[in-house]
């Protein structure tokens, strides 16, 4: 599976948009970009995934560059409850979680 | 619909003891997988159970074992605890086996095990 690179930490003011970048320059054609988050001492929570088109759901938007080498997760109006570690991973749709590596992620702090 | 439930949330044990953790999957889900999460190693796969049978196993010693019951609830057992077993233990449930098309796993809140 392709490796991802994320900044270790970010701050965001409450109510503003949080833009979390991820580099995945070795992504292959059949790999999707997934985003999860983990609030302290809880299990990872699925946020969104995409292949090459931008995606939006009730939680966030995912912007994938045309060459698919990087992506950005956007939380449009960050709240204090969005403070968590955000993981960007790439994997083929059919890969089971035993083969997925969750890296250190980005620790997002939403500041009042 | 209730999510994945893990009990207990927190546990403190001493070296040499054994521990049993419990996971109740989302209703209708037949696969339960277990993971160990530590700051240094990240999220590591332990094993997956589907229809009461272990289907997949990670690279952990035999002290780590599990089982699944007919109602899909699963338990994980760790015997002869070591200090290095201190971690957040997560279970995830999915409708089908991990890796099946369109199968997504949903994680529980985890059990924080501290071995002293």
In percent, the amount of chain B with pLDDT more than 70 equals 95
Residue B110 banded pLDDT, cuts 50, 70, 90: very high
Question: Omega of the bond prior to B32 within 30 degrees of 0, cis?
Answer: no
Interatomic CA distance for residues A42 and B78, integer angstroms: 20
Give pLDDT, residue A1. Answer: 53
Shortest CA gap B16–chain A (Å) = 25
- A19-28 pLDDT, tens digit per residue, is 999 999 989 8
Shortest CA gap B92–chain A (Å) = 8
Residue A26's contacts (CB-CB under 8 Å, 6 or more residues apart) are A2, A3
Q: Give the position of tokens 């994980």.
A: B76
Here the tokens at position B79 are 């015997």
Buried/exposed code over B2-25 (b: 16+ C-beta within 10 A; e: otherwise): eebebeeeeeebeeeeebebebbb
Q: What angle do CA B97, B101, B106 make, to 5 degrees?
A: 55
- B15-50 pLDDT, tens digit per residue, is 999 999 999 999 999 999 999 988 777 788 898 999
Contact A63/A77 with Cβ under 8 angstroms?
A: no
Q: Give the position of tokens 């009042």.
A: A112
Interatomic CA distance for residues A49 and A107, integer angstroms: 19
Q: Give the mean pLDDT of chain A.
A: 89
Q: Does B104 touch chain A (CB under 8 A)?
A: yes
Instruction: Return the closest-CA partner of residue A73 out of A60, A85, A90.
Output: A60
Among B101, B102, B110, beta carbon nearest to A41: B110
Q: Taking residues A12-18, what's their average pLDDT? A: 96
Give pLDDT, residue B89. Answer: 96
Shortest CA gap B105–chain A (Å) = 8
- A67-106 pLDDT, tens digit per residue, is 999 999 999 999 999 999 999 988 777 666 666 667 778 9
Write down how long chain A is. Answer: 112
- The H or E element spanning position A91 is strand A84-92
B93: nearest CA partner in chain A: A97
Among B33, B43, B112, beta carbon nearest to A102: B43
Which of the pair, B19 or A30, is modelled with greater confidence?
B19
Q: Which of A99-103, B50-54, B64-68, B82-86 has the lowest mean pLDDT?
A: A99-103
Determine the residue among A6, A30, A43 to mutate to test chain B binding: the one whose Cβ has the most chain B Cβ atoms within 10 Å.
A43
Determine the residue among B6, B36, B94, B98 to mutate to test chain A binding: the one whose Cβ has the most chain A Cβ atoms within 10 Å.
B98
Which residues of chain A lie closer than 8 angstroms to B99, CB-CB?
94-96
Which of the pair, B76 or A49, is modelled with greater confidence?
B76
Q: Taking residues B50-57, what's their average pLDDT? A: 88
Interatomic CA distance for residues A27 and B1, integer angstroms: 35
A61, with CB counted inside 10 A (0-12, 13-18, 19+), is middle
Instruction: Return the closest-CA partner of residue A91 out of A50, A39, A63.
Output: A50
What is the phi/psi pair of residue B2, to 5°?
A: -70, 150
A97: nearest CA partner in chain B: B98
């Amino acid at each position: 599976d392709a490796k991802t690179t994320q900044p270790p930490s970010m701050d965001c003011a409450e109510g503003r948009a949080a833009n979390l970048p991820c580099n995945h320059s070795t992504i292959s054609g059949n790999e999707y970009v997934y985003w999860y988050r983990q609030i302290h001492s809880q299990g990872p929570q699925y946020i969104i995934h995409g292949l090459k088109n931008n995606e939006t759901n009730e939680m966030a938007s995912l912007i994938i560059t045309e060459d698919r080498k990087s992506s950005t997760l956007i939380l449009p109006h960050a709240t204090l409850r969005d403070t968590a570690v955000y993981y960007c991973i790439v994997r083929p749709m059919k890969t089971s979680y035993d083969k997925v590596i969750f890296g250190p992620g980005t620790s997002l702090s939403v500041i009042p | 619909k209730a999510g994945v439930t893990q009990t207990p949330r927190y546990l403190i044990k001493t070296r040499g003891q054994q521990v049993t953790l419990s996971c109740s999957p989302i209703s209708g889900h037949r696969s339960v997988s277990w993971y160990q999460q530590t700051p240094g190693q990240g999220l590591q796969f332990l094993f997956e159970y589907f229809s009461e049978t272990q289907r997949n196993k990670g690279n952990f010693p035999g002290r780590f074992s599990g089982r699944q019951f007919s109602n899909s609830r699963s338990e994980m057992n760790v015997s002869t605890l070591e200090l290095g077993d201190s971690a957040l233990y997560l279970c995830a449930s999915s409708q089908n086996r991990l890796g099946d098309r369109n199968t997504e796993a949903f994680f529980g809140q985890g059990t924080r095990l501290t071995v002293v």
